[in-house]
């Protein structure tokens, strides 16, 4: 899947540049990476908010159509929880109105033959707001940060989606509330069998709840695998660098990468990470004889497979990587 | 002051309390805080939103609202900021102590070049400085935070979040203060940029021998850069000690909950088990008189409601305000 944006200057910004991804029911996938890595664009594309310039979004094997009615049907199954709960809720709508909006839009009362109030109450209590009736007439400013986040989640759950997309679900919450919301996401996965995609830059969050992780860099997935594989046996130098700067006491020597993710209108040749790659800078790549490849040969796009996969010349060249199938 | 010897106390907070007077009554935001920051030392202040940590920061330079009720002392190099004359206060701001405010990403003026903004405190506070000297100083400041000198001519909008934050830090350094207060310096920044900014901050303390008070809700960030950390809850300090110990071996149940919220990657106990704390922080208007954390405390007992616990020293460097922990300390004196 690729997404290109045309900039005002007329050049193409390749926000997503060849991404394969699969989410199964009852699975939590964490998309991690820095700002500018394309993780939010990917989430928006999965939601049908952004049309890919290449590739498809498949839901249960069917390609997603982009007509209004197809999108409406699709969004019943895929719901998004936005980053900033205080900004995402209308300050002039009560909790009831906010949650009921989706129910009305999708005519769920007719379809399920359940009174609206019951559907709203059910969604609120699924999101851990009990007793739900007590919150019906509250306005967002009367709620705590954790409650607001739960109301947003309830709004998504009201449609009984199969997939929940959460963009930084806890980054604006206090530490003590963060755990509660993450526990809620885990519980929803277990009780409702939801597939969940969590977009985050927080590796600790991924360790807390994710089954699988996809690490993104400049529009590509550079490493993917189970949470244990990616976080405990990271093979891509970028993943290793990200891990090394997680603030902790007993830890790796921090590899603080210089600068920021390059501009997607000018993606570096060869491996797109090579200008910042610590393995290129310290000569490890040269020692393995791959530094020219790093600079010149582009890497193949990682497939949607569920094994631990890495897009890195050095990894492919080292002994350790040789017995693994090429990506 | 000789920058090389760490030690002289720059900031001393003595029994500081502050209450906001709101239409819904008196709101005690800070309730009896004692804290010191020495030159060459980074002290962290951790806590959730509403715990009073930003209020405390604003009081360092007497920036609290006029109608707030303040008591106690805020000594900056021995002089009480809270009672000093306006002219003295003006001299202290920027030159003695400066603040890097929260939300720096939106604090830069979009229509002025960053160099001009960094120069502004110099022009205001040191009137006799010549233009070319200011230009040199701005360039030096930018270099000290890891930005090229030429960036002085840039407007804020093309800069990334991390670069804007560096500009804010450069501005805070402009009048060579001895104390810097950084309120949530890395919130809203990416992990990698956060690491870069923290690196810059701790480098400055090391190179310039300034003292720094860093405020954050993220205990793991504080544990990483600070020498000492104080944890605040509902306007009071509930635990203070060396940063690594407070994070890895929390004594107060609240600190334990905070540090548990940031799992150690690779720790099997945290896998599929995010830890949190039920409930919300108390409304400061309706504090009961007992331990303010008791309603949410996993280790609470009946006596907790009786009286607000005070900070009890458990060792020369660590203190905790919790009757459950203080009790344990008497059983295990070497703790």
pLDDT in tens, B48-65: 888 898 899 999 999 998
Distance (Å) of CA B282 to CA A191, B233, B235, B289: 32, 9, 10, 12
Closest-CA distance of chain B to residue A59, Å: 27
Spell out which residues of chain A touch residue B161, defining contact as CB-CB under 8 Å: 35
Closest-CA distance of chain B to residue A43, Å: 18
Counting residues of chain A whose pLDDT is more than 70, the rounded percentage is: 92
Considering only CA atoms, which of B264, B326, B265 is closest in space to residue B291? B326
Q: Is the model's pLDDT at A177 over the cut of 90?
A: no
Distance (Å) of CA A15 to CA A56, A89, A197, B117: 16, 28, 19, 33
State residue B291's pLDDT score.
92
State residue A45's pLDDT score.
87
Inter-chain contact A144–B280, Cβ cutoff 8 Å?
A: yes
Partner B, chain A 22-51, Cβ-Cβ below 8 Å = 34-35
Residue of B nearest to A228 (CA): B266
Partner B, chain A 168-227, Cβ-Cβ below 8 Å = 174-183, 186, 201-205, 207-209, 227
Model pLDDT for residues A108-146, shown as the tens digit of each residue: 999 889 999 999 999 999 998 988 998 999 999 888 888
Structure confidence at residue A96 as a pLDDT band (50, 70, 90): very high
State residue A3's pLDDT score.
66
- Phi, psi for residue B171 in degrees, rounded to 5: -65, -40
The mean predicted confidence, pLDDT, of chain B is 87
Q: Which residues, including other chains, have CB under 8 Å from residue B54's CB and lie 6 or more apart?
A: B102, B183, B215
Helix (H, G, I), strand (E, B) or coil at A35: coil
Spell out which residues of chain B touch residue A230, defining contact as CB-CB under 8 Å: none
The answer to whether B216 contacts chain A (CB < 8 Å) is no
- With the CA atoms of A300, A301, A304 and A305 taken in that order, what torsion angle do they form, in degrees rounded to the nearest 10? 20
What is the rounded distance in angstroms from the CA atom of residue B9 to the CA atom of residue B228?
Answer: 14
State residue A120's pLDDT score.
95
What is the rounded distance in angstroms from the CA atom of residue B202 to the CA atom of residue A168?
Answer: 28
Structure tokens at B86: 């306006």
Structure confidence at residue A178 as a pLDDT band (50, 70, 90): confident
Which of A145, A209, A248 has its CB closest to that of B272? Answer: A209
Judge contact between B190 and A168, C-beta under 8 A: no
Inter-chain contact A208–B193, Cβ cutoff 8 Å?
A: no
Model pLDDT for residues A203-224, shown as the tens digit of each residue: 989 999 999 999 999 989 999 9
Question: What ipTM, to 2 d.p.?
Answer: 0.79
What is the rounded distance in angstroms from the CA atom of residue B31 to the CA atom of residue B234?
Answer: 8
Closest-CA distance of chain A to residue B307, Å: 24
Q: DSSP states of A282-297 as a string?
A: TTHHHHTT-HHHHHHP
Q: Which residues, including other chains, have CB under 8 Å from residue A307's CB and lie 6 or more apart?
A: A225
What is the rounded distance in angstroms from the CA atom of residue B294 to the CA atom of residue B300?
Answer: 6
Residue of A nearest to B243 (CA): A249
Where chain B has pLDDT below 70, the residues are: 1-6, 104-105, 326-335
Judge contact between B250 and B79, C-beta under 8 A: no
Distance (Å) of CA B304 to CA A187, B228, B308, B325: 32, 27, 8, 12
Residue of B nearest to A186 (CA): B272
The answer to whether B130 contacts chain A (CB < 8 Å) is no
- With the CA atoms of B93, B97, B102 and B104 taken in that order, what torsion angle do they form, in degrees rounded to the nearest 10? 70
State residue A322's pLDDT score.
45
What's the distance, CA B174 to chain centroid?
20
The answer to whether B199 contacts chain A (CB < 8 Å) is yes
Helix (H, G, I), strand (E, B) or coil at A223: strand
To probe the interface with B, which of A206, A248, A277 has the most B CB atoms within 10 Å?
Answer: A248
Structure confidence at residue A82 as a pLDDT band (50, 70, 90): confident
The answer to whether B94 contacts chain A (CB < 8 Å) is no
The mean predicted confidence, pLDDT, of chain A is 86
Closest-CA distance of chain A to residue B297, Å: 12
The answer to whether A144 contacts chain B (CB < 8 Å) is yes
Spell out which residues of chain A touch residue B280, defining contact as CB-CB under 8 Å: 144, 146, 177
Start-to-end CA span in chain A (Å): 17
Distance (Å) of CA A129 to CA A118, A126, A134: 14, 7, 9
């Amino acid at each position: 899947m690729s997404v290109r944006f045309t900039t005002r200057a007329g050049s193409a910004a390749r926000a997503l540049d060849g991404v394969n991804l699969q989410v199964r029911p009852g699975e939590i996938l964490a998309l991690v990476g820095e700002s500018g890595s394309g993780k939010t664009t990917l989430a928006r594309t999965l939601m049908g908010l952004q049309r890919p310039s290449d590739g498809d979004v498949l839901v249960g094997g069917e390609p997603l159509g982009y007509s209004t009615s197809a999108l409406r049907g699709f969004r019943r199954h895929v719901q998004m929880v936005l980053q900033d709960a205080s900004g995402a809720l209308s300050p002039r709508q009560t909790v009831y109105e906010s949650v009921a909006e989706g129910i009305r839009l999708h005519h769920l009362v007719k379809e399920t033959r359940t009174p609206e109030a019951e559907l709203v109450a059910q969604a609120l209590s699924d999101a851990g707001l009990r007793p739900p009736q007590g919150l019906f007439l509250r306005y967002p400013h009367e709620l705590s940060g954790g409650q607001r986040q739960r109301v947003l989640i309830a709004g998504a759950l009201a449609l009984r989606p199969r997939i929940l997309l959460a963009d930084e679900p806890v980054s604006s919450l206090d530490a003590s509330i963060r755990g509660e919301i993450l526990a809620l996401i885990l519980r929803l996965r277990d009780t409702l069998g939801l597939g969940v995609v969590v977009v985050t830059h927080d590796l600790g969050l991924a360790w807390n709840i994710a089954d699988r992780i996809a690490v993104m860099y400049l529009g590509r997935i550079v490493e993917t695998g189970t949470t244990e594989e990616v976080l405990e046996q990271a093979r891509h130098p970028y993943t290793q660098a990200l891990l090394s700067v997680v603030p902790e006491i007993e830890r790796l020597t921090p590899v603080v990468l210089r600068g920021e993710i390059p501009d997607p209108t000018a993606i570096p040749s060869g491996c797109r990470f090579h200008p910042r790659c610590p393995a290129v800078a310290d000569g490890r790549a040269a020692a393995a004889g791959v530094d020219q490849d790093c600079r010149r040969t582009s890497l193949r796009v990682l497939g949607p497979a569920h094994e631990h996969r890495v897009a890195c010349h050095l990894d492919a060249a080292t002994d350790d990587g040789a017995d693994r199938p090429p990506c | 002051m000789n920058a090389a010897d760490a030690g002289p106390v720059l900031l001393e907070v003595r029994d500081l309390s502050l209450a906001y007077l709101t239409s819904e009554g008196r709101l005690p935001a800070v309730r009896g805080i004692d804290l010191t920051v020495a030159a060459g030392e980074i002290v962290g202040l951790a806590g959730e939103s509403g715990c009073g940590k930003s209020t405390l920061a604003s009081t360092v330079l007497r920036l609290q609202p006029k109608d707030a009720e303040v008591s106690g002392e805020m000594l900056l190099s021995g002089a009480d900021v809270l009672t000093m004359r306006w002219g003295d206060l003006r001299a202290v701001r920027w030159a003695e102590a400066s603040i890097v405010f929260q939300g720096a990403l939106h604090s830069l003026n979009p229509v002025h070049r960053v160099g001009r903004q960094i120069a502004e405190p110099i022009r205001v506070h040191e009137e006799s400085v010549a233009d070319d000297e200011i230009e040199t100083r701005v360039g030096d400041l930018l270099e000290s935070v890891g930005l090229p000198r030429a960036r002085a001519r840039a407007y804020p909008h093309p800069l990334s979040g991390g670069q804007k934050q560096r500009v804010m830090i450069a501005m805070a350094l402009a009048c060579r203060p001895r104390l810097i207060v950084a309120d949530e310096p890395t919130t809203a920044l990416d992990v990698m940029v956060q690491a870069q900014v923290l690196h810059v901050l701790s480098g400055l303390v090391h190179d310039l021998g300034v003292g720094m008070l860093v405020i954050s809700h993220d205990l793991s960030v504080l544990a990483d850069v600070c020498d000492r950390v104080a944890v605040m809850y509902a306007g009071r300090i509930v635990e203070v000690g060396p940063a690594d110990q407070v994070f890895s071996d929390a004594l107060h149940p609240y600190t334990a909950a905070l540090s548990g919220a940031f799992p150690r990657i690779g720790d099997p106990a945290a896998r599929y088990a995010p830890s949190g704390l039920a409930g919300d922080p108390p409304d400061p208007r309706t504090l009961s008189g007992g331990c303010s954390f008791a309603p949410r405390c996993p280790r609470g007992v009946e006596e907790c409601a009786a009286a607000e616990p005070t900070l009890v020293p458990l060792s020369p460097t660590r203190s905790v305000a919790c009757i459950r922990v203080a009790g344990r300390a008497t059983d295990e004196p070497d703790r």
